[in-house]
Copies of this chain bind each other. A is one copy, B any other.
């Protein structure tokens, strides 16, 4: 089934935390979108793979993506391999999204950076016919966006998520295992600068929202010039 957008994220909650507002907006607009999680998050400090699978199901119940897939790559060990990028390119060819949205390739978390690079390479390769399987048609999505993360890059766009921000908070609350310490060995050391996820999410939404005069926003980066989308100039 043809998608409007495909999100490629490293761990089961990354898509929701980074672009949950965009996803809810797509849902409300009746757009078809899919999510590919590269790993099951089994090496995360908090929660088991089972916990996380249940959490994904709960998030899906809210988001209602057309497809949600998991590539089953090893958590904490995502590598930019030929095999992984071709699997991803095949998914792109199969679902024919207009837009791909993924991590930024310079994120400090190695899995996130690898995901960003895999998505960038797969995006390009999806246009090569001879890499496609029999009966598949090569087709490169029109645009590739990256969400920020632990990357100070200036965004190209900020998406106003003011109307869905409260629901985004509900959405992220589905990932309950990630939001509080998991027993005594959990020192919070996995959190960059000890940042509480919900708090950090709200701060960033407000900070980027203010950059465009909105109450809450989610930033996106595009590499290279875009076709003009200004409604006056368009």
Contacts and interface: CB of A to CB of B under 8 A. Distances in A.
Interface of A: 4-5, 22, 25-26, 31, 42-45, 76-77, 79, 82, 85, 98-99, 108-110, 120-121, 124-125, 127-131, 137-140, 143, 152, 154-160, 185-187, 189-195, 199-200, 203-204, 206-208, 210-214, 219-220, 224-233
Of A5, A109, A195, A226, which is in contact with the most chain B CB atoms at under 10 Å from its CB? A226
Q: This chain: how many copies in the complex?
A: 6
Contacts of A140: 189, 192
A190 B154 contact: no
B137 A187 contact: yes
B225 A138 contact: no
A131 to B, nearest CB: 5
Given A200-B210, A210-B193, A227 B160 contact: yes
